[in-house]
Structure 1
Amino acid sequence: MATPDPGADRLRLVIVGGYLGAGKSTWLRHQLYAGAFPGARLIINEAAELAVDDALFGGRYPVTLLAGGCACCAGCPAFLDALRDLCDRRSREAGPDGRTSLAVLETSGLADPGAIAAALRADPMLAFHVTLAETIVLVDAQNAAAQLAAEPLGRAQVEAADRLVLTKTDLAAPADTARLVATLRRLNPAAPITADIRGEPAALPDMPSAAPLPLAQQDGAPILPVQITLPDGLDWAAFAVWLSALLSAHGQDIVRVKGTLRTPAGRLLLQGIRTHVQPPEILPDVPANDPLDGTPDRPPARDGTIVLIGRGIDTDRVTRSLARFAARLL
């Protein structure tokens, strides 16, 4: 007779991690659409006070938003509280078949999944009620070589993974991708590696003799988020001109750009990685008078504020630059 698994009724947690701009939200959205993680409660964590990634899910899935600190450090108490609340909800749900059985945490791009796992193990209540099912780390094939060379955090994320998913392999040369795969296998030999392009599985280059990349670590100023509010009346085209000039001048210090803004075409999602800004995506509006609007299940829209994540960003200087630019147009 089989021995019952004492953890069979625990809440299963999947961590989706990866460095800034790896495409975590896009990948997760495609996975949900394809039927992965059925019935999951999403926990979206952002380092900045202004959250943007939750807007990608458009109210289609139950979301708990954690903004203003990474779940591995400053935001860890809020993350653990959110899990305790979810476990408490489960205890009141009717029967095992009616309970939420899965939570998916999309981490901030500055989070260390290993530290999150350690925090779970160290919490007596959550260690009993939650099991870490899998840690999936996304790796940006276009930018990972520079990230792994310069950012110890990028290496820590890879080393903590149960599974690695390469994104944007269509934007990288096959030889460069092969060297990256060899590097990932050296850093984490146990993790299987797959590739995914805009939600579709992709083949990895067949170059088994590729040499790993050099991984010299460099010290630098910490990467931090700042947010700027767009002046009233500034349209999308004018803002795009200013942003292009900013990234051209400081693109190596500004690692990530994201935000939402209102335009005549609708709500636009803006995302950029260093000097490359992705084509804007039109997002669905939150229904008028939605009773969930503004609750943890559906945070309110925050259009017109942009988050810049990088090193040495002077918020006042950037704000003054944008205000001067807008004054010449308005």
Structure 2
Amino acid sequence: MTSERIPVTLLTGFLGAGKTTLLNRILTGDHGRRYAVIVNEFGEVGIDIDLVLSSDEELFEMNNGCVCCTVRGDLIRTLYSLLERPEQFDAIIIETTGLADPGPVAQTFFVDATLQDRVALDSITTVVDARHIQDTLKQSAEAEEQIAFADQMVLNKVSLVSPQTLKSVERSLRAINPFAPIYKVDRADVPLDKILGKGSFDLERITELESGFLNPGHGEPGHVHDEHCQSHDHHDHTHDASVTSLVVESDQPMDAERLSDWLNEYLAENGQDILRAKGIIDAAGEDRRLVFQAVHMMVEGDFQRPWGPDEVRKSQLVFIGRNLNRAELQAGVMACAQNHPS
């Protein structure tokens, strides 16, 4: 029996973004860790054909101990087959096709009790092509979704664009997803310890982000240092495409049970439009921070570390999705305040 759950990275990104290069580095690198990589057999080639070969086997073991397998059936069954192997892995990476919505894959880890006991979703990591992403966003809803779902982004091919274009690209990414760190690289050459095993999807991780939860500060990954970086209005992020994000904040202590009921009901009705949601909640009568996050209609939450003696206690909720109604979300959250008439 394993003492800790195996971390799983969901790797996504639009066609040509650089997932192939990143996966090849993981599968062939001399990093001393054993990764199992699950790739789709349809759509783009997930890794080099020389690595996959032409085989009827679902599992391909590499000379560095990593394993690659193609998804020829249900993802849960594929994960079970990996977990049943006598040798264990340090981590599992699931690569989605370039045209895939990562939401349903992420939801797998909410709904299967066995997987919840054995594995933990570590992050949704999105690889972004700096040169083509702005044109892609104008044409593809899937590219927006991949960015919206991201816990962290690998902004690839940055040397192929001008500094001004790079700033514009970062603003576009931040407009869709205000809280995911952005790592700027070429040839997908991001240090693996920067993106793997960081617990970016872990609820406890959110409690460490502090002010960076909404807008990373100077010197932090993801901060956009431009003429807008001193602005205090980070509450609405809009752009020309359909996916937007907004933040709802409240200084009033929340009734945790009422908020949980409202959030579950709201996501049940609007979950297809809410791609991701995260929040840190000041729960009335509780010294610990209530932390939640959601993927579509699936939501989980827990009380995490205590509020610090010098911390300002307030609730912050981030919603990323389509057709977001600020007034409706604001009213829903405020109705959950402790002093709000029930």
| Map of 1:82 onto structure 2 | 78
Residues 180 and 43 (structure 1), Cα distance of their counterparts in 2 relative to 1, 3 Å cut: same
- Paired residue secondary structure (1:80): helix
Of residues 133, 138, 151, the one that matches 1:144 is 133
- Paired residue secondary structure (2:185): strand
Q: Structure 1: which 5+ runs fail to align?
A: 1-5, 68-76, 219-330
Normalised to the residue count of structure 1, the TM-score between the two structures is 0.52
Residues 139 and 174 (structure 1), Cα distance of their counterparts in 2 relative to 1, 3 Å cut: same
- Paired residue secondary structure (1:186): helix
CA contact (8 A) 2:130 2:166 kept: yes
For residues 278-329 of structure 1, give each alpha carbon's deviation from its aligned partner in whole angstroms, at most 9, with x where no partner exists. Answer: xxxxxxxxxxxxxxxxxxxxxxxxxxxxxxxxxxxxxxxxxxxxxxxxxxxx
**1:53 to partner: Cα distance:** 2.5
**1:155 to partner: Cα distance:** 1.1
Residue type of the alignment partner of 1:38: R
Residue type of the alignment partner of 1:39: R
Q: Structure 2: which 5+ runs fail to align?
A: 53-61, 192-220, 230-236, 244-342
Structure 1 segment 114-125 matched on structure 2, within 5 A: 114-125=103-114
Q: Partners in 1 of 2:5 and 2:46 — Cα distance?
A: 30
Normalised to the residue count of structure 2, the TM-score between the two structures is 0.50
Residue type of the alignment partner of 1:131: A
| Map of 1:308 onto structure 2 | none
Residue type of the alignment partner of 2:49: A
Q: Partners in 1 of 2:99 and 2:162 — Cα distance?
A: 26
Aligned length: 196
Of residues 154, 171, 179, the one that matches 2:160 is 171
| Map of 1:12 onto structure 2 | 7
Q: Partners in 1 of 2:223 and 2:6 — Cα distance?
A: 37
| Map of 2:33 onto structure 1 | 38
**1:158 to partner: Cα distance:** 0.7
| Map of 1:62 onto structure 2 | 67
**1:125 to partner: Cα distance:** 2.2
For residues 49-79 of structure 1, give each alpha carbon's deviation from its aligned partner in whole angstroms, at most 9, with x where no partner exists. Answer: x856252546544211126xxxxxxxxx522
**1:20 to partner: Cα distance:** 0.9
Residues 139 and 87 (structure 1), Cα distance of their counterparts in 2 relative to 1, 3 Å cut: same
- Are positions 1:209 and 2:198 aligned together? no
CA contact (8 A) 2:10 2:123 kept: yes
Q: Partners in 2 of 1:28 and 1:190 — Cα distance?
A: 24
Structure 1 segment 179-194 matched on structure 2, within 5 A: 179-194=168-183
Q: Partners in 2 of 1:205 and 1:11 — Cα distance?
A: 30
- Paired residue secondary structure (2:179): coil
Q: Partners in 2 of 1:37 and 1:139 — Cα distance?
A: 27
